[in-house]
Amino acid sequence: MQMTLRYYGKNFDTVTLQQIRQIPGVKSVITTLYDVPAGMTWTREKIRALKKEVEDAGLTIAGIESVNVHEEIKYGGKDRDRYIDNYITSLENLGKEDIHLVCYNFMPVFDWTRTELARLRPDGSTVLAYTQKAVDDLLPEKMFESIAGDMNGTVMPGWEPERLKKVKELFECYKGVTEEDLFANLKYFLEKIMPVCNEYDIKMAIHPDDPAWSVFGLPRIIINEENILRMMKMVDDPHNGVTFCSGSYGTNLNNDLPHMIRALKGRIHFAHVRNLKFNSPDDFEEAAHLSSDGSFDMYEIVKALYETGFDGPIRPDHGRMIWGEKAMPGYGLYDRALGAAYINGLWEAVEKGSQRK
């Protein structure tokens, strides 16, 4: 595996590449062109500038998170072919710039959803949290307002203000779109992009829906083992793969995370490793990465990745806000650095332990 950290670019991130470089074992970042809206083409010039910024700091780009998929592609709008063509051009340009991993998601309207961005934990840290009751009591358009008001002055990926204005409109577009339609639209998209992925060896890694169930009545499909295996089979190409995000699949306690990793052997191109603490099945908060701070057995998750031969980029995921840091909620430096160090430790222990048998 290749330990990485997510980086949002110098105009958006409070964490610098110089700081990231000092985290033990981190030689690469996962990043994106944050200022290119979904549906627009990524130019070679922009990709090259991003690469230069990262490489000048002594790091490399391990992959892109994300090249966002335009809503028209997801709901199957009349202009979807145009947006797919743009996506193909973006992939082609990434391939030409020697970037071979792209994370994306297929969640309608809302990206990841949390109901609190700074829930206080017993140790005084603050974390992102979710409680189903808060979602049930809220109108979708209010969701954007409540998230936007609590971002420490940052713009959070997936919750950009320009999307806020369009929420009602978007809900109209998804009227009548079923889970089966979403599967069909994803298949259509994947079949169109697989040739360029094969030509440039670009691994597509779909991120699971978070939380892993329908919110606000919108369909969601990348939520469990059955559905992700269906997605692998419906476009059976090694470039059609997965971002295994323990914190997202883990929102549903019925998902057996180590079992899912084993079932997806060979198709996990990217891993997000983090822990959650459940207070009830529909109320959880993001814990420290350490197993004993949350509800997951992080050792078993890392062991499953190791034993299935996972050799792609891995990153700690959302961290707690600790030590007075002011940053994008979930994306401060300190707790993610602790997470990286912990995952590195687990990996080394699993690796050396298995060689000694």
Catalytic residue annotation: 207, 245, 272, 317-318, 331
**Region of 188-196, 262-270, 271-279, 321-329 interacting with Mn ion (CB under 5 A):** 271-279
Least distance to Mn ion, CB of residue 222, Å: 11
From 121, 239, 272, 315, residue interacting with Mn ion (rule: CB under 5 A)? 272
Is 191:235 a contact under the CB 8 Å cutoff?
yes
Work out the angle at residue 334's Cα, subtended by the Cα atoms of residues 329 and 337, and round it to the nearest 5 degrees: 110
Distance of closest approach, residue 314 Cβ to Mn ion, in angstroms? 11
Query: Looking at 1, 47, 69, 245, which residue binds Mn ion (CB under 5 A)?
Result: 245
Residue with smaller CB distance to Mn ion, 80 or 272 = 272
Closest residue to Mn ion, Cβ-based? 245
Task: Establish if 215 lies at the interface with Mn ion (CB under 5 A).
Answer: no
Q: Is 318 in the site for Mn ion (CB under 5 A)?
A: no
Residue 5 C-beta: closest distance to Mn ion, Å: 13
- Smallest distance, Mn ion to C-beta of residue 127, A: 15
Select from 13-21, 139-147, 238-246, 289-297 the region that touches Mn ion (CB under 5 A).
238-246
Which CB sits closer to Mn ion, 196 or 276?
A: 276
Residues from 115 through 174 that contact Mn ion (CB under 5 A):
none
CB closer to Mn ion, 95 vs 158: 158
Q: Which stretch binds Mn ion (CB under 5 A): 4-12, 26-34, 191-199, 265-273?
A: 265-273
- The region of 6-14, 165-173, 272-280, 304-312 touching Mn ion under the rule CB under 5 A is 272-280
| Shortest Å distance, C-beta 214 to Mn ion | 19
Q: How many residues bind Mn ion (CB under 5 A)?
A: 2
Spell out the SS3 assignment of the chain.
Answer: CEEEEEECCCCCCCCCHHHHHCCCCCCEEEECCCCCCCCCCCCHHHHHHHHHHHHHCCCEEEEEECCCCCHHHHHCCCCHHHHHHHHHHHHHHHHHCCCCEEEEECCCCCCCCCCEEEEECCCCCEEEEEEHHHHHCCCHHHHHHHHHCCCCCCCCCCCCHHHHCCHHHHHHHCCCCCHHHHHHHHHHHHHHHHHHHHHHCCEEEEECCCCCCCCCCCCCCCCCHHHHHHHHHHCCCCCEEEEEEHHHHCCCCCCCHHHHHHHCCCCEEEEEECCEEEEECCEEEECCCCHHHCCCCHHHHHHHHHHCCCCCEEEECCCCECCCCCCCCCCCCHHHHHHHHHHHHHHHHHHHHHHCC
CB of 58 to Mn ion, least distance (A): 26
Of 109 and 271, nearer to Mn ion (C-beta) is: 271
Contacts with Mn ion, residue ranges (CB under 5 A): 245, 272
